[in-house]
Amino acid sequence: SGRRSLRRPFATSSGACPGIVGRSYRHVEATHTTEPHFVLRTLHQSWIINFFCNYEESRGNYLVDVDGNRMLDLYTQISSIPIGYNHPALLKLMTNPHNLSTFVNRPALGILPPENFPDKISESLLSVAPSGMSRVQTMACGSCSNENAFKSMFIWYRNKERGQTAPSDQDLSTCMVNQAPGCPDLSILSFMGSFHGRTMGCLATTHSKVIHKLDIPSFDWPIAPFPRLQYPLEEFTRENAQEESRCLEEVEDLIVKWRQKGKPVAGIVVEPIQAEGGDNHASPDFFRSLRNIARKHGSAFHVDEVQTGGGTTGKFWAHEHWGMDDPADIVSFSKKLLTGGYFQRDELQPDKPYRIFNTWMGDPSKNLFLAEVLNVIHRENLLEEVTRSGKALLKGLYELQGQYPNILSRARGQGTFCAVDICDDETRNSIMLKARDKGVILGGCGDRSIRFRPALVFKEYHVHIFLNIFSDVLAQLK
């Protein structure tokens, strides 16, 4: 393929490939054995470094490694690069001397924001507020966003239980020592296969892989099954509708059961598409019903758009595909939005200041970039591009799946947020490595899926470049 061999003095065994995460604890052990370079041994997680990158030379959809290999990137730093590498609009922003102080002086945003903060928030986050939501809180990362979104739901739920009266003296004294009623036995309902982050509150709602959860204490919170749809969807309409009904019934049963256990469900958290857990989709009907169940039982409804948000499904938010005026009480984000945070409905706003707070509360330099990213999305019609590229990508995957039925199955997606299942984990990893050797970076998810997460600037011709290479890789496997 004309590719230069990778000089990777610091790299781990060749089994390391972006986004490959073995579900089995033992599997992970087996694939990482090479002793890394001295300096890197002093880094905590050196052993999962795939390769070192030259970010200065990377451009658009192409990531360049230290050896100058230029690779078409369909994984984009775990789906966190919105408009490709070194977009001129972002580089230009860095050359404006008035922006320098935003990078050099990170404020305690909650109490001492910069002068231009309201403007930057208006230009950026508020311009993409989900339907029904007028309030936004920035945070530094996805986990902190979900942690604080959960806290908002707990606070809201307890205020509702107290009838908006002040907390009792007992509430105030017990909360200081982690005891009820001050620290109440409330729960968040989540779904099997979900991923909402790895800090301890988030982790109690994450159920995608053993490696995330083993040995970490958790909460006794309810976990509902997420629909396992059969593909192609049009052939399994009845079965899939039944499957979704079954899961929704289970949600209601769990809400009742946990209320009876004395651990009421303060909120339901769900991804519009379960990403880390294997790109599991459900129908708009499923989500509309779920939102209604939450309302019926007095639980808040939190849609986690950390991976789905930012345009990759062809709409800015994946929940827009549900067609609802009132899709959620809280929508959290991070990754492609460059800053973490969440939107919420007015009712979810905590009743007192400092209930949700930390030192940095986000990072205004990320808001600067985000405002420019949104300009570019608008100016370059990137949501339309994503829709067009996504259709071409999915069409190509359907064709390859028809051609290689023993290797590929369950091609699925929305926009360019696509995935396909591989016959087994070993074949998946082999495909991903071969693709990388041909200059394409892919990521895995779930047991044996490949997830496609290109940037929003991934055009139709990039799809065809990818499909040609992917086709070659599959032909070699046959």
Catalytic hit among 33, 160, 359, 395? 359
Shorter beta-carbon distance to a second copy: residue 60 or 327: 60
Name which position in 221, 333, 458, 470 contacts a second copy (CB under 8 A): 221
Could you report how far apart the first and last alpha carbons of the chain are, in Å? 19
To the query of whether residue 195 is one of the catalytic residues in this protein, the response is yes
- The residue within the footprint of a second copy, chosen from 69, 77, 308, 389 (CB under 8 A), is 77
Among 141, 290, 293, 377, binds a second copy (CB under 8 A): 141
- How many CA within 13 A on the CB side of residue 184? 25
Compute the C-alpha angle 439/444/449, nearest 5°.
115
Q: Does 107 bind a second copy (CB under 8 A)?
A: yes
175 touches a second copy (CB under 8 A):
yes
Q: For the chain, what is the largest distance between any 2 Cα atoms, rounded to a whole number of angstroms?
A: 73
Phi-psi region of 310 (alpha: psi -120 to 50; beta: other; left: phi over 0): left
**Residue partners of 56: CB distance under 8 A and separation at least 6:** 86
Cα–Cα distance measured from residue 72 to residue 67, given in angstroms and rounded to the nearest whole number:
15
CA distance linking residue 470 with residue 272, whole number of Å: 27
- Shortest Å, Cβ 53 to a second copy: 5
The piece of 106-114, 229-237, 377-385, 464-472 that touches a second copy (CB under 8 A) is 106-114
User: Applying CB under 8 A, does 21 fall inside the site for a second copy?
Assistant: yes
Of 72, 74, 303, 361, the residue at the interface with a second copy (CB under 8 A) is: 361
85 lies in the binding site for a second copy (CB under 8 A)? yes
Task: Please report whether residue 8 would count as binding a second copy according to CB under 8 A.
Answer: no
The answer to whether residue 211 forms part of the interface with a second copy (CB under 8 A) is yes
- Give the contacts of 74 (CB within 8 A, at least 6 positions apart): 440, 441, 442, 443, 452, 453, 454, 458, 466
What backbone torsions phi and psi does residue 414 show, to the nearest 5 degrees? -145, 125
- Residue choice 4, 14, 35, 94 for contact with a second copy (CB under 8 A): 94
Q: Tell me which of 7, 8, 70, 151 binds a second copy, using CB under 8 A.
A: 151
Q: Which is nearer to a second copy, 310 or 396 (CB)?
A: 310
Closest approach of a second copy to the CB of residue 321, in Å:
24
* Token pair listed for 232: 């192609």
Nearer to a second copy, 159 or 427 (CB): 159
Is residue 304 part of the annotated active site? The answer reads yes
150, 226, 258, 316: residue in contact with a second copy (rule CB under 8 A): 150
Among 7, 8, 110, 467, binds a second copy (CB under 8 A): 110
- Is residue 154 part of the contact set for a second copy (CB under 8 A)? yes
Please choose, out of 27-35, 237-245, 393-401, 459-467, the segment that lies near a second copy by the rule CB under 8 A: 27-35
Name the nearest CA neighbour of 272 among 212, 317, 225, 334: 317
How far apart are the C-alpha atoms of 161 and 167, rounded to whole Å? 10
| Ranges assigned E (strand) in 131-195 | 135-139, 187-191
Q: Is 223 in the site for a second copy (CB under 8 A)?
A: yes
Nearer of residues 139 and 408 to a second copy, judged by Cβ? 139
CA dihedral (221, 204, 429, 235) positive or negative: positive
Identify whether the C-beta of residue 456 lies closer than 8 Å to the C-beta of residue 374. Answer: no
Q: Is 335 a catalytic residue?
A: yes
Q: Which residues does 96 contact at the CB level (< 8 Å), separation at least 6?
A: none
Answer yes or no whether residue 164 interacts with a second copy by CB under 8 A. no
Question: Could you say which residues in the range 191-210 bind a second copy, by CB under 8 A?
Answer: 192, 197-202, 204, 207, 210
Residues 44-73 binding a second copy (CB under 8 A) are: 44-45, 47-56, 58, 63, 66
CA distance 151 to 80: 25
Does 423 help bind a second copy (rule: CB under 8 A)?
no
Say which of 73, 304, 421, 425 is annotated catalytic.
Answer: 304
Task: Name which of residues 292 to 351 contact a second copy (CB under 8 A).
Answer: 334-335, 338, 344, 349-350
Of 51, 154, 191, 195, which is the active-site residue? 195
List of residues 6+ apart from 19 with CB closer than 8 A = 75, 78, 432, 442, 443, 444, 445, 451
By CB under 8 A, tell whether 74 contacts a second copy: no
What residues act catalytically? Answer: 195, 304, 335, 359
